[in-house]
A and B are shown apart, each in its own frame.
Chain A
Amino acid sequence: MKGMELLKELCMAFGPSGCEDNVAARIKEQVLPFADEVTTDRLGSLLVLYKGTGEVRENTMVPRRLMFAAHMDEVGFMIRSVDDRGFLYPARMSVGEGRMLTGRSVSVGNENGQVDGFIGAVPAHKSGGSTDFGALYIDIGAKNKAEAEKYASKGDFGVFRTEFEVLGGADPLWKGKAIDDRLGCAVLCDVLAELSETGYRPPFDTWFCFTGREEIGASTAATAAYAVDPDVGIVLEATAVSDVYGTDETWQVGKQGDGPLVSLIDAGTIYDRDLANFLLDLGERENIPVQSKKYPGGTNDTRPISKVRTGVRVAAISSPTRYIHSAACAVRESDYHSMVKLVTAAIKNL
């Protein structure tokens, strides 16, 4: 499985922060045939080794090890209580505003199984109608607490339940839940498969790391980086852009169809400028669309990775993504393929 089919497969998996095992299982199945070694660490990260030739080089940013990271978790919520009537109440885990959750289809449960439900709010028809997050509840159709708890209890999780769809025909949008950051995971799987199938071995060892808990701010990327001890860490992400009709171009962050975004600075990280320039130049040289990110918003796994052990040079390559953290994120097909190409070229040129 590759490209859109793979992304779809990964997006449909149930994997809110702290409950990523189902996603890890699907990724493991993908990478095993192409990897030299696959480690599942004690926090649930998947560390996948593709060995290099071991050739000793001078004047390189990667004398020993290159690490890639993409996070497996998606935004969602945790069940904080269940009432006598069988209604479940959510605690927020990085999902958007309550108004963007009202009425939405969700899956509720844990890694062992989920049940379908929907999010209710105080109807707008009624005085005091509210879509504040605190006013939301989840209804799975249960008649009382005991019945509800057969399916989901306090401490279990929920995520959006949205179909993965292709919108448009010419360079279509791929739309679905959890694209942040199953997209990064899918790109890494594709890159590994391509390296392995073509038999190319870089001089250095390459670690493809699939991490968890990114969406709650304290990611398992830190422990993955500790284990790998890389020279360079590159995070693959889906990042927010707003290149839609009506938004002033000044504030659009990046443009879909113009390739992945390379970050220079954001709310969590000052990126290694040599590395960022290398990626931007590489795109130009190899004719791969790439753009620098034009707004320093958001953070990602580079923040924990950059300060592991004695410090790591970091870069972020992100797909320009619309409507991120919602039930319906959308990325552009051509940007996905540009990202696979850029990452592959980076491995061959670092």
Chain B
Amino acid sequence: MKYVEILKVLCDAMTVSGNEQNAHDAVRTLAGDVFDDIHTDAVGNLVLFRKCGKEKARRILLDAHMDEIGMMVRAVHEGGFVTVVNIGGLDRQILPASDVQLWGDKKTIPGVVAATPPHLYGILGNKTPDWNGLVIDTGCTKEELADAGVKIGTPITYKKQWTNLLNNRITGQGFDDKCCCAGLLYAVMHTPREVLAGDVYIVLSTREEIGGHGADCAAFAIEPDVAIVTDVNFAAAPGVSGDESAPMGDGPMVSLSAVTDRKLTKKILQIAEEAHIHVNTVVEATNTGTNANTLVYSRYGVPAAVVSIPLGGMHSYNEYLSLDDGEAFAKLMQALIANPALAEGFDRTTEKGGRA
């Protein structure tokens, strides 16, 4: 399966934080029999395990989060109007006049976020309502919504779309972080067992958008020797400084941060160079904005690095991705997990002191 095909399967699934399991069947199907074990843990992470077949193998954790930002129905009103709460960092300012989908139990219902037209600013004011006042218009009657299984708690996303732009670039929803999920799956599915640098655990983690709780639990269970946390980062664009972004189509990004492990990060940069995969580094001094922030403090500690894919329009109506970057990311992951040195040299060491 091609990288883009895996990505499409993942993006078609609605995985607003708390609903990640919606994608699990599709992942199991596309993963086939490549993995030795695939299981869903207590907090909804999908853990895909592939043995390398060697004795005393190192454990390598590859994390990408499966959840996407969205909303949830707070109340259903007469006239097919629905009020909502946000799930994750949705910018309410940019919501009005957005096409959305309400994922009812029985049927997915299209809707529009109500917007004040400029003609009526004089009486209604020129401002976006707070979350309490944001309204979705479904055009349905209350009964139609009930029949579709739309009720308090029903998840809502931006309307799922997929558009091809120039130069192998696409716009759509949920690329944060399904572009990395797809890259990890592709990499492990295309790497022969014999060359794996250790036992590999792909963690398609939950609840990143609301604080990263899923990945912490998975790391506790797996006790990895090293972890590579993968997420999206900022693509260079007007208004985004060059320091904190990388150009679209220029390859994956590697974070330089006090949160992550310097040795592992250096190793990744070296392996990328040897494999002729161009990467850009980005400084995220005290906060990577990813699962790595908390995952590194699991149990005795986990040496971790952050590898990312540049993304435009993050958390907006459209996200914007270069498939070239996604494919380069997948290749980099292949090179990393096939490098015997990847997980070596991170053991805890204890020496006897003079008083022993």
Using a CB–CB cutoff of 8 Å, the interface residues on chain A facing chain B are: 83, 85, 87, 96-97, 99-100, 102-105, 115-118, 120-126, 128, 130-131, 135, 137, 139-143, 147, 151, 162-163, 165-170, 172-173, 175, 239-240, 242, 244-247, 251, 253, 295, 297-298, 322-328, 330
Contacts and interface: CB of A to CB of B under 8 A. Distances in A.
A310 B167 CA distance: 57
A140 B165 contact: yes
Q: Which 5 A-B pairs have the closest CB atoms?
A: A103-B316, A167-B139, A168-B139, A141-B165, A326-B97
A152 B129 CA distance: 35
Interface residues of B, number: 65
B117 A324 contact: yes
Interface stretch (B26-34, B75-83, B347-355): B75-83
A244 B317 CA distance: 22
A297 B122 contact: yes
Given A102-B94, A170-B140, A242-B124, 19 more contacts: A83-B238, A120-B238, A120-B320, A121-B94, A126-B239, A126-B240, A128-B239, A141-B165, A142-B167, A151-B166, A167-B139, A168-B80, A240-B120, A242-B114, A297-B119, A297-B120, A323-B96, A323-B112, A323-B114
22 contacts: A96-B115, A99-B94, A100-B115, A121-B94, A125-B315, A126-B244, A139-B237, A141-B165, A142-B167, A147-B167, A167-B112, A168-B80, A169-B140, A170-B141, A242-B116, A245-B83, A245-B135, A298-B119, A322-B114, A323-B137, A327-B97, A328-B99
B112 A330 contact: yes
Contacts of A120: 237-238, 312-313, 320
Contacts of B244: 126
B310 to A, nearest CB: 12
B126 A246 contact: no
Contacts of A322: 112, 114, 137
Contacts of B239: 121-122, 126, 128, 130, 135
A125 B163 contact: no
A115 B163 CA distance: 11
B99 A163 contact: yes
Contacts of A97: 118, 126
A117 B165 contact: yes
A27 B159 CA distance: 30
B119 A141 contact: no
Contact of A105 (B120, B128, B318): B318
A122 B139 contact: no
Interface in B227-241: 234, 236-240
A326 B137 contact: no
Contacts of A100: 94, 96-97, 115
A175 B165 contact: no
A170 B128 CA distance: 29
A183 B146 CA distance: 31
Nearest to A116: B163
B268 interface: no
A197 B234 CA distance: 59
Given A96-B97, A102-B316, A244-B81, A116 B139 contact: no
B301 to A, nearest CB: 28
A103 B165 contact: no
A175 B77 CA distance: 20
A124 B115 contact: no
Contacts of A105: 161, 163, 171, 317-318
A123 B240 contact: yes
A253 B122 CA distance: 12
